[in-house]
Amino acid sequence: MTRPKGDTMPSQTTTADIPTVEPVRVDQLDTLAPAFKAPYDAWIAEAQRQIQHVEFRTIETRRTLQRQSWLYAQGRAEPYLDTPQITWTLDSRHRWGLAADWIMVRRDNRGNPTAEVIWSIQSYKWVYRTVPPGPYGLRHIGPAEWMHVELLLADEALEHASQMDLKQT
């Protein structure tokens, strides 16, 4: 990437930029790129239609560099060295609106959500087997992260970022 002369903005986040407070987690679906939102909405709707004993919830959609830097600092930089690492990249698909994280909340026998979030890996694997993301143009990235779904052709989409009006935040 070329930068205009005189541009003194750092091109990469350094440790000095790590926020000391967790930047807000965004879960609004309308922050997603349409190219990802449309298939993601369809996939989640189909999963909810077929699997009714849980409620599907999207817990994170678009991220800013600031939040990604905070996540990346976990387990890597002061003052977060004692916490586990939770991401491996600063260049997440979330920053392009091309990924979302979802969870399942168990429903009671009247269909109302309980406080019980399902974290079992087997349950996520089962959902992906029951409603495969592939035909929707999506993929999960298990075992790295089971809650994360992103555009299957994200690399190709990013090659056409301006045509698709993709914006990195």
Span interacting with Zn ion, options 13-21, 129-137, 143-151, 158-166, rule CB under 5 A: 143-151
Tell me how far, at minimum, the Cβ of 3 lies from Zn ion, in Å. 28
Residue 101 binds Zn ion (CB under 5 A): yes
Q: Which stretch binds Zn ion (CB under 5 A): 8-16, 30-38, 107-115, 142-150?
A: 142-150
Number of residues lying near Zn ion (CB under 5 A): 2
Which of 148, 152, 154, 157 forms a contact with Zn ion (CB under 5 A)?
148
Helix (H) or strand (E) holding 107: strand 99-107
Instruction: For residue 32, give every residue at least 6 positions away whose Cβ sits within 8 Å of its Cβ, in sequence order, or none.
Output: 40, 61, 62, 97, 98, 100
Phi, psi of 139 (to 5 degrees): -145, 150
Whole-angstrom Cα distance, residue 14 to residue 52? Answer: 45
Minimum CB–partner distance for residue 69 and Zn ion (Å)? 15
Q: Under DSSP, is residue 117 helix (H, G, I), strand (E, B) or coil? A: strand
**Residues that bind Zn ion in the complex, under the rule CB under 5 A:** 101, 148
